[in-house]
Amino acid sequence: MTERSVIHSTIVLERTYDAVPARVFQAFADPEARMRWGAPSKTAELVYDKADFRVGGLDVSRCGPRGSLIYRVENRYVDIVPEQRIVSTELVCEGWDRLSVSLITIEFQPVGASTRLVLTDQIAAFGDKDMIAGSEAGFSAALDNLAAEFVPETAGA
């Protein structure tokens, strides 16, 4: 039997958005919104096969390069406090091969009329450090994309 190593890491990403916590929280609660901003690049795609945003609920999605959704992601919600935090576990697989499992905490903190978001990903990657770098890059790009959800509409446009 071949043994695979496990590599642990903690990734912490912070962003501030020009929107109140209720709006930022809603962008996570709504799977249609998550599909808009969640793919890390224009060449990647994210599709939800199941979305159940509630404590105990399970989201199942596929992602990868457009036209080749090779990764399956199962996200189980452990704790949800509206406008304050979301805690979930995430399992990433390619076929039957488990690539990583994470405990993800997203905190929404009011800062005046804005929101400071802190995402903490406590990840165990199986056999390959690339999953840690990929998780950090993917979440970082998605959080950058999220800012577009809060661009104010211009009058008369």
Q: Give Dmax (Cα) for the chain.
A: 66
Q: Please state the pTM of the whole predicted model.
A: 0.91
Decide if domain 7-150 falls under CATH 1.10.10.10: no
Rounded Cα distance, 157 and 145, in Å: 22
Q: Quick one: 157 exposed, middle or buried, by C-beta within 10 A (0-12, 13-18, 19+)? A: exposed
Domain map (residue ranges) of the chain: 7-150
Q: Which helix (H) or strand (E) holds 151?
A: none
Which pLDDT tens digits describe the chain residue by residue (157 residues)? 456 789 999 999 999 999 999 999 999 999 999 999 998 888 888 899 999 999 999 999 999 888 899 999 999 999 999 999 999 999 999 988 999 999 999 999 999 999 999 999 999 999 766 889 999 999 999 999 999 999 875 544 4
The strands making up 58-65's β-sheet, listed across from edge to edge, are 6-17, 114-126, 97-111, 85-94, 71-81, 58-65, 44-50
Rounded Cα distance, 140 and 96, in Å: 26
